[in-house]
Amino acid sequence: MQQGSLPTKAGDAGLTAPAFPAAEQADAVTAPRSLRQRLRRQRLVRYLVFNPLNLFGLLVVLFVILLAIVGPYITPYSPTVPDYTAMLGAPTGAHIFGTDQIGYDIFSRILAGARLSIGTATGVLAVAVVFGLFLGAVAGFAGGWVDEIIMRVTDMFLAFPVLILALAIAATLGAGLTSAIIALAVGYWPWYTRLLRGQVLSLKQREYVEAARSLGVSNVGIMWRHILPNAISPIIIELSQDMGYAILNIAALSFIGLGAQPPSPEWGAMIVAGRDFLRTAWWTCAFPGLAITVTVLGFNLVGDGLRDALDPRSVEKG
């Protein structure tokens, strides 16, 4: 993955799924579309369900998404109304994750913060994907000087690490989640531009694309009907892995004061609020940090499973 400053993924440490039989690999290439779809579903089940680590990651992701949907409605206490009689309370039956220095219930804020963290990361990738895929399609189809200009601009943005570029942009725009979304999207779109441009260059000379062009199908139609469906697998893999990095980068921006602002229950903002009390009230940072760690791990494991299932180049020969 592109974010070289972040920890190595679990899949890079030697975690591999079972290899496909050679006959199945050949069938996946030559089989009709319906059979290819069935083989793809079988591979997804094999790598996401029957691999214990990938299954753990899938369950974590589903659980976090569920919390993002229902979390604010099931909090035992208000995530934004403090209890001044229970400040810096240790974990107990009444407050299972304890309370912070103002009296906020940490468990309630983690539940409510799942929507902020997941929603903000989704917003970042939505903006990056739409903008990046548009430019990638234009560069791949147009070629020539249009392709050259787009790719040189893309290379200019790729020269900066995502988080460093986001820090500069967020500092310019001002603190807040909206600024964080824009800043991170600027750092992520070049990867999707380069990814789709490569897919377009690879696929636009295929026979079925030439046949569609000879029948008078427009470039937009060719892109939408023939190229994008065949290029969706690497895009899904990239998205699943970038989701974890986006959550981590949002927390990083909030930690240095450029993301979510108090009293927002975003996980990174919770950590920065409790860092001054780490020695005397460890729970103020430990539980939000654990939520970020488990969530990012879950998305990374799912990304590894999807890569093994959808990318034939990642499959070991049996």
Residue 38 lies in a domain: no
CA–centroid distance for 35 within its chain: 30
Residue 22 lies in a domain: no
Q: Determine if the peptide bond prior to 229 is cis (ω within 30°).
A: no
Domains: count for the chain:
1
Q: Give the tens place of pLDDT for each residue, 254-289.
A: 988 888 888 889 999 999 888 888 888 999 999 999
CA distance 248 to 289: 10
Residue 224 lies in a domain: yes
CA distance 5 to 62: 27
Q: Show the domain range for 165.
A: 47-76+96-314
Residue 95 has which token pair? 């407050």
For residue 83, count other CB atoms closer than 10 A to its CB: 16
Which of these ranges, 26-40, 173-187, 235-249, 302-316, has the smallest mean pLDDT? 26-40
Q: Give the tens place of pLDDT for each residue, 83-142.
A: 888 899 999 988 999 999 999 999 999 999 999 999 999 999 999 999 999 999 899 888
- Strand segments (E) across the chain: none
CATH of residue 115's domain is 1.10.3720.10
Predicted local confidence at residue 4, as pLDDT: 42
Predicted local confidence at residue 9, as pLDDT: 40
| Closest among 244, 315, 285 to 60, alpha carbons compared | 244
CA distance 104 to 111: 12
Residues 6+ apart with CB under 8 A from 131: 185, 189, 192
Residue 188 lies in a domain: yes
At residue 231, φ and ψ (nearest 5 deg) are -105, 5
CB 162 within 8 A of CB 247: no
Residue 267 lies in a domain: yes
Report pTM. 0.80
Residue 82 lies in a domain: no
CA distance 312 to 315: 5
For residue 41, count other CB atoms closer than 10 A to its CB: 11
Percentages helix, strand, coil for the chain (3-state, rounded to 5) are: 70, 0, 25
Residue 16 lies in a domain: no
Which of these ranges, 123-132, 185-194, 211-220, 227-236, has the smallest mean pLDDT? 211-220
C-alpha distances (whole Å) from 164 to each of 141, 160, 254 are 32, 7, 14
Residue 100 lies in a domain: yes
| 99 bridge partner residues | 105
